[in-house]
Structure formats: structure tokens, C-alpha cells
């Protein structure tokens, strides 16, 4: 929400072409108008009070950085800084007053097995079982839904329509300002603090580390009848919904003991390592890749950076 930006600044911006809804029967003009630019939506919501409105930007800033194509690539911290500086410069956004309402943070990794198989092995996280996730009108993932946030695991390759790619996306989608505030994120400038983002990365790592992840390469022939029955129970998603917190703690312990003793693979652990390594890579602040705007406009970059420091 672009607090500090005026409607006049957007209306006069040559990059924004707003469309407004008009009701055919009454001729009444709708209260919301929208413009699209490089994958982002610029939304103006008029309130009932005279000259009262909200200015909102919605969408993927990684996709914006990629000229609106997609966000199925590694979007690192340096790219994030470049994007925010460009948005502030082009659309008169004050990063110290623009409020972050929703935020998604995650990583794209390439597991050694097909993403479809990884998704089929997700059982539960704490008291919640995974539900189907629909992206681009296709069921291509699973998620855990909470009131303030969602953990999403899905096939990112679908966005590129490249069947040769095998991209697994692990993501935390935050829809609560209260949740963001716990990580010192309230305004746009706060996500330029790498420490704030690192604390959110820890949430994702903890999530994947503690997911109940099924393994079908189990040496069941070496199990006792009691161990086998216990394993079958622990692999049932409904079981995790029905037990309390103390029971989940013991069940989690038993699940991992059986998995460590009888599993012949370590897929979950390998994906965890890939996730940690990818986050380390994304935190790098300097890169020569993909500089679509400030490379050609060094003066604007200096002005934007100066504005960020001295608004």
C-alpha cells in the first residue's frame, strides 16, 4: 500500500494506463481502476469520502524484474534491491512509508527425483495435513494453510512450460502484517535489511526439516510386525490430525527412528541441504546478472539510492 504517493503522480505517469469498470445498465463508474506494467498491478481504490483513495501495487516483483515474463529463476538480494529502487524512482514510492501487506519468500531447487514424486510423499506438518495447491489453473503442488501464513510446495516448472526442467518451489506466503511485524517488516524499506529476510528463511528451513515426509524405499521385510503396523499408522495423514501435541511429539520421534533405521534413501535431507545452499546463494548482494534498468540509467540509480537513505 503506497502511503505517501499521490493519485496525480500515478495518473500522470506515462507507464501506467488505467482501466476502469463501467456498469452498462446504470452507466456508473466503478470504484476501482487498474493498470498493468511488467507483471505488476497498480490499483487505485476510491473511498466514499471525497478525494480519499488507496494506491496498491500487487504482484511478483521478481516477475517485474524479469520484464513480466515469469519468476521461475533465482531472484537474489541484489536483484531485490535493484527492483525496489527502480519502483521507487519510476512510480514515486516512498519505501519508508509504503506498507508491506503480503510477502512471499522461497527458493527454487532442483531435486534429484521428479518433483511429482516429492509432492506425493508429503504427509503432514505438525497438526495439519497437506491440501492440494492450484497454480496457473493446474493442481501442481501442496500446501499447509494457517490463519496468518501458508507453506507451499509446488512444481515451479509449470510456469516455464519447459518439460525438461525439474524445479521444486518451497515457499512461505505471509498474509498478515502482524506476522511480518515479528520479523521487523512493516514498510518496503524493511525488506532491504538482509537480517529481516534471514529470519524468515529460518522459518522455511524449520518447516521442511520437520515435515512428515513419506519414504517408500523402506526395508519393511526387516521390520517386526509391530514396527510395520506402527509405520503404516504414522504414514496416514488422518492420524496426525487426530492426535494432540504431546502425542505428536512422540509420534514424530517414532517416525524418524523407523525412517532412520529402515530407509534406504535420504531424499528429505538432501532437499534440506539444497534449500540451505540456495538460500546462501540468494543472500549474495553483488551480481552482474540481469540488470535491465539501472545499467542503462546510472543517474536514476544514484538518485534512488540517495532517496532511500535520505527520504
Helix (H) or strand (E) holding 237: helix 237-242
Chain mean pLDDT for the chain: 87
The model's pLDDT over 245-300, given as tens digits with 9 standing for 90+, comes to 999 999 999 999 999 999 998 999 999 999 999 999 998 765 444 444 344 444 44
- Could you list the beta-strand ranges (E) of 187-258: 212-213
Give the pLDDT score at 290: 43
**DSSP symbols for 260-273:** HHHBS--HHHHHHH
Please work out, in degrees rounded to the nearest 5, the angle formed at the alpha carbon of residue 208 by the alpha carbons of 260 and 160: 120
Helix (H) or strand (E) holding 250: helix 245-262
Residue 4, pLDDT > 80, answer yes
Give the pLDDT score at 137: 73
SS3 state of residue 14: coil
Residue with more model confidence, 150 or 27: 150
Give the pLDDT score at 71: 87
Query: What is the widest separation between alpha-carbon atoms in the chain?
Result: 75
Residue 41 contacts residue 59 (beta carbons within 8 Å): yes
CA distance 310 to 199: 26
Residue with more model confidence, 140 or 204: 204
CA distance 133 to 196: 27
**DSSP symbols for 97-128:** T-B---EEEEEEE--SS-HHHHHHTEEEETTE
Give the pLDDT score at 72: 86
The model's pLDDT over 164-223, given as tens digits with 9 standing for 90+, comes to 688 999 999 999 999 999 999 999 999 999 999 999 999 999 999 999 999 878 999 999
- Of 14-28, 79-93, 241-255, 279-293, the range with the lowest mean pLDDT is 279-293
Question: What would the grid cell of residue 296 be?
Answer: 542503462
The model's pLDDT over 119-139, given as tens digits with 9 standing for 90+, comes to 999 999 999 999 999 877 778
Give the pLDDT score at 161: 65
Amino acid at each position: 500500500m503506497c502511503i505517501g504517493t499521490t493519485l496525480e503522480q500515478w495518473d500522470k505517469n506515462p507507464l501506467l494506463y488505467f482501466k476502469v469498470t463501467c456498469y452498462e445498465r446504470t452507466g456508473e463508474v466503478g470504484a476501482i481502476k487498474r493498470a498493468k506494467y511488467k507483471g505488476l498491478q497498480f490499483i487505485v481504490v476510491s473511498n466514499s469520502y471525497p478525494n480519499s483513495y488507496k494506491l496498491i501495487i500487487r504482484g511478483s516483483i521478481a516477475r517485474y524484474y524479469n520484464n513480466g515474463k515469469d519468476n521461475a529463476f533465482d531472484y537474489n538480494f541484489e536483484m531485490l534491491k535493484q527492483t525496489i529502487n527502480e519502483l521507487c524512482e519510476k512510480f514515486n514510492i516512498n519505501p519508508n512509508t509504503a506498507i508491506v501487506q503480503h510477502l512471499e519468500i522461497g527458493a527454487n531447487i532442483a531435486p534429484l527425483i521428479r518433483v511429482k514424486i516429492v509432492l506425493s510423499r508429503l504427509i503432514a506438518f505438525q497438526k495439519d495435513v497437506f491440501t492440494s495447491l492450484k497454480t496457473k489453473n493446474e493442481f501442481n503442488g501442496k500446501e499447509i494453510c494457517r490463519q496468518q501464513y501458508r507453506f507451499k510446495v509446488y512444481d515451479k516448472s509449470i510456469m516455464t512450460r519447459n518439460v525438461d526442467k525439474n524445479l521444486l518451489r518451497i515457499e512461505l506466503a505471509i498474509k498478515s502484517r502482524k506476522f511480518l511485524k515479528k520479523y521487523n517488516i512493516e514498510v518496503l524499506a524493511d525488506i532491504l535489511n538482509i537480517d529481516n529476510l534471514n529470519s524468515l528463511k529460518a522459518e522455511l528451513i524449520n518447516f521442511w526439516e520437520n515435515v512428515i515426509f513419506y519414504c517408500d524405499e523402506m526395508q519393511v521385510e526387516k521390520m517386526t510386525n509391530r514396527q510395520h503396523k506402527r509405520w503404516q499408522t504414522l504414514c496416514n495423514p488422518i492420524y496426525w490430525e487426530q492426535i494432540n501435541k504431546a502425542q505428536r511429539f512422540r509420534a514424530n520421534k517414532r517416525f524418524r527412528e523407523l525412517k532412520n533405521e529402515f530407509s534406504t534413501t535420504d531424499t528429505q535431507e538432501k532437499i534440506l541441504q539444497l534449500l540451505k545452499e540456495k538460500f546462501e546463494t540468494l543472500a549474495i548482494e553483488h551480481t552482474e546478472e540481469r540488470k535491465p534498468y539501472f545499467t542503462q540509467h546510472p543517474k536514476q540509480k544514484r538518485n534512488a539510492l540517495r532517496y532511500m537513505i535520505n527520504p
